A and B are shown apart, each in its own frame.
Chain A
Amino acid sequence: MTTNHGTKKNLESRWQRVLRSLLYGHDVDRNVKAKARLGLAIVAFAGIFSIIALRLVVFATVSEGHGGRRSVTQDAVATARPDILDRNGEILATDVKTPSLFAEPRKIIDVDEAVELLTAVLPDLDANEVRERLSSKRGFVWLRREITPAQQQEIHRLGIPGVGFLTENKRIYPNGAVVSHEIGHVNIDNQGIAGIEKWLDGQGLAALHMAGLATDQLQRPVNLAVDLRVQYALREELIAAREKYKAKASAGVIADVNTGEIIAMVSEPDFDPNNPREANDPNRLNRLTTGVYEMGSTFKALTLAMALDSGRVSLSSSFDARLPLRYGKFEIHDYHAQKRMLSVPEIFTYSSNIGTARMALALGVEYHKAFLKKLGQLDRLRTELPENAEPLVPKHWGELNTVTIAFGHGLSVAPLQAVMGISALVNGGKMIPPTFLKRDRAEADRLAQRVIKPETAEKMRYLMRLNVEKGTATRANVPGYYVGGKTGTSEIVVGGRYSKTKVLTSFTAILPADKPRYLLLIMIDEPQGLPETNGFATSGWNAVPVGAQVIERVAPLLDIPPRFDLPKADQMLLVSAKDSR
């Protein structure tokens, strides 16, 4: 019994011992244990509370960031673009915010009612199309891009559920068509389609758009080289000229010969970038960069510069122009035939095809080719504008090609290319790639390549001036501005043959001729003879007087002071020769 009792007691005490060891351990002071446990609880609670506190901080900061992000999506869908300014800071293109109407079809309750209400406010909205869009299962559809604030107010007041507004950037061209070919235009999503706008997208703006970051209104504006006032004056004169001579097209460039900046560039007809649909008309393309033309006698300047620069021909050399130049079955005539030996200046002022051709032949085909290559006339000219054209160079360049190219037939170049070449002939012999962006003299000098000797450039200026004093360009002799220039009339190829009646006339002017700062090129496509031009349609009767008007109007804007105590061309060469000695 006792043993039984004893075992029962033992059992009980073992249970108790196990329990006790689980709860307290079996030989530990209870007080110490309690303290340790309290410590554990404190650590655990402190941990939990610090996590809560941290989460609170995180929520506080994140909610801030969240608000910011929301305002960005509200800001702009069609992304922001930098302003485009002219060289004096006049705005050529800028962004304006306009509301656009969108809908979330899933949230729309009554499609028919919504369509009815919307078409009441926007009568030109196509009801069937809107109905179709609203019935679709998509999450987001545009209903109308770029509505007026008044329309926004009205639609807002209708209170249609599932219809909302987003603010978008809209590109505005305040000057309309005046600078159209240079700045180009954008599509409805504000992406550049042509001109400088497209170039901007190539400069990293497109990547910003993709990332959705191009929302900052404070993007740095782009300064172009163009002078809005000069551009406007040139354009107005060219429009008048196109009407007066009933021409198909007219075009003009004013370039700074020392920096390569394009101060003005107009190709009529042009388009209004606010209405980009016009830009697709092939008749409105930019003839100066995307068209290639046989520049006619203008190219004689290049041939003469080549001859003078070779050192084998001097200003006093003379060439035989007594008879037409026979080459195989071809016969080269002079337009102003003199039928005698002509000196080099006479060849230039009478614009003798025979003389120039003989000059080029004397130097040889390879020399000719290499010289034109050096002046960039045989390669595609690349500028900031994405539109450009490859010159049409004969595949097999024989002597006959040299003969015709010497006076500007048989090689088609973009007119801007010719501008670059002739600028190099008169600015002292440095070829500077043209640019539509502002550029300073130091940068231009860094880019410049010497292509002819400074003495040759001196002689070319003399020849150009002489041509205005007593050559084919006498109508360009604006008093006080000392203009120099070369005319060009080339026959247009119609059906594989040179037309006798359809011509392209051009006039290349430098001003002032003694120390050129600007080069002006005027081109008129298919001008008609008028009674006051005695029925003639050659350059001297249309392109030259237009050039004179442009110079008279533009020179004060270009800060060229008129001078009236200037020497004759013959003395100019003497003076400069004395200076250089």
Chain B
Amino acid sequence: MRLLNILVIGALILAASFVYKIKFDSTLQAERVAKLRGELRRERNAIAILRAEWAKLDTPGRVQGLADRHLALQPVKSSQFDNFERLPERPPAVVPSPGHDPIGAMLAPVPDTTGSVPFAPR
């Protein structure tokens, strides 16, 4: 009987500490959720502001002003368009291409490297 009582008391203490741990964890989690929610809201607001700003920077009026100042482009004339059907055939090559490409042959043995990175064996 006494043994049983001791066991029960032990179980009670275990259960209590376990519940306490769960409670503590859940508080932590709840805090995290609240924090993430706040962050989400902030991010969303920031996105809304950035979208509005982008829309403002992207207005045709502003782009036109920049184009007028920095580019030498002119409005397109209808005569500058044409159909694909009216595109002439590619003219035949004036010099018939030889069977092999002498310059290409010279390039071929050079391994694939960029100019800045020295060639290193892999």
Contact = CB atoms under 8 A, between A and B. Distances in A.
Nearest to B53: A174
B32 to A, nearest CB: 13
B37 A217 contact: no
Bin the interface of chain B by size.
Answer: 20 to 34
A54 B34 CA distance: 25
Interface stretch (A94-102, A104-112, A392-400): A94-102
Contact of A176 (B30, B59, B64): B59
A91 B45 contact: no
Contact of A479 (B41, B56, B58, B78): B78
A209 to B, nearest CB: 19
Contact of B48 (A96, A228, A481): A96
Contacts of B34: 67
B81 interface: yes
Contact of B56 (A71, A174, A553, A555): A174
A94 B55 contact: yes
B55 A481 contact: no
B51 A91 contact: yes
Contacts of B55: 90-91, 94, 174-175
Contacts of B121: none
Indicate the member of B45, B60, B64, B81 with the most A CB atoms within 10 Å: B60
Interface residues of A, number: 32
B48 A175 contact: no
B44 to A, nearest CB: 6
A344 B40 CA distance: 69
A478 interface: yes
22 contacts: A64-B30, A91-B52, A94-B48, A94-B55, A97-B45, A172-B52, A172-B56, A174-B55, A174-B58, A175-B59, A178-B61, A232-B60, A232-B61, A233-B60, A236-B64, A480-B78, A480-B79, A552-B77, A552-B78, A556-B76, A562-B79, A562-B81
Given A175-B61, A552-B78, A556-B81, 14 more contacts: A64-B30, A71-B41, A94-B48, A96-B45, A97-B45, A97-B48, A172-B52, A178-B59, A229-B60, A232-B64, A236-B64, A480-B78, A553-B75, A561-B83
Interface of B: 30, 34, 37, 41, 44-45, 48-49, 51-52, 55-56, 58-61, 64, 75-79, 81, 83
List the 7 shortest-distance A-B pairs measured between CB atoms, nearest first. A174-B55, A480-B78, A232-B60, A91-B55, A562-B78, A174-B56, A97-B45
